[in-house]
Amino acid sequence: MPILAIYFLTLPSTTAQQIGIYSAAGYLASFVFEISSGYFADRFGHKKTLVLAKLLMIFSTFLFVITDSLPFFVLGMVFLSTSFAFASGIGPAFMHDTLIQMKREKDFTRVMSKMGAYVSLISIFLIISLPFFTTIDIILPLKISLAFDVLGFFAVILLVSPKREGEVSKDSMIKTIKDSSNPRFYWVSLFMGLISRFVFATANYKEVYLQSLDYSVILVGFIMGLSRFAWFLIGNDARIIEKRISVKSLLRL
């Protein structure tokens, strides 16, 4: 949410440097739970994992709403990042198994790209509109987000688990980590991870920087909304891009 860092700086005794502290806590949680989330899904099922992810998201937003200090914000960011870690890979896996059951496995890329595009389109509206509520109360956009998180939780509860849920791993989490440490894959993943983390780490300062240039919160939301529009355009044509450019070429790019 574009106003999160700006909202943090409205709390007593907070500084821009502390944004790095709660961001680092979030990225550490994401690192710790990214692999274990897959192990959890194999053991307990994709739907239960998605339900847990939504619960963590609700706890996170709730903490942001009631927070008055850095420790609460750090805890909220840990819950938020853990929620993303649990949902990032499990959501597509759940959809993949559902499409297999429907005998539409070949449509996976098209369905996922369309879903991503439509989510980006909706987020454009939310990102642009929510900052307007800051003129009433700086916390109001977070309260609205909390309401959406609760609705999302009930939506996940209503999901029907496919009969086939991939191949359930019988290995321990330690063995799973060892199996994923193939030298070539490991170094490529490490390089990509470092690059992406650098981008994400600096992203938390975008809104604060724009506000330091005397941009209003509403204008910051509009700028962030434009970035989501680019996501919509790319996601809407992802299948065409995949046909013309290989995954390896995309990674090189």
pLDDT at 168 over 70: no
pLDDT tens-digit series, residues 19-52? 888 888 888 888 888 777 877 888 888 889 999 9
pLDDT digit string (tens) for 113-134? 777 777 777 777 777 777 777 7
Q: Averaged over 178-200, what is the pLDDT?
A: 66
> pTM, whole model, 2 decimals?
0.73
**pLDDT of 166 higher than 60:** no
CA distance 171 to 177: 10
- Higher confidence at residue 84 or residue 246? 84
Question: Minimum mean pLDDT among 49-53, 69-73, 161-165, 238-242: which range?
Answer: 238-242
Please indicate whether residue 144 or residue 194 has the higher confidence score (pLDDT).
144
Rounded to whole angstroms, the Cα distance separating 103 from 118 reads 23
Q: Which residue has the higher pLDDT, 240 or 100?
A: 100
More confident residue, 227 or 237: 227
Tally Cβ neighbours within 10 Å of residue 196: 10
Q: What is the mean pLDDT of residues 227-239?
A: 66
Least confident window among 150-164, 167-181, 206-220: 167-181
Higher pLDDT, 169 or 155: 155
Give the three-state DSSP class for 180. Answer: coil
pLDDT of residue 83: 92
Domain boundaries, the chain: 4-252
Nearest to 116, CA basis, from 232, 196, 227, 226 = 232
**CA angle, residues 247, 191, 187, in degrees to nearest 5:** 90
pLDDT of 241: 62
Please give the full DSSP string across 31-78, using - where no structure is assigned.
Answer: HHHHHHHHHHHHHH-HHHHHHHHHHHHHHHHHHHHH--SHHHHHHHHH
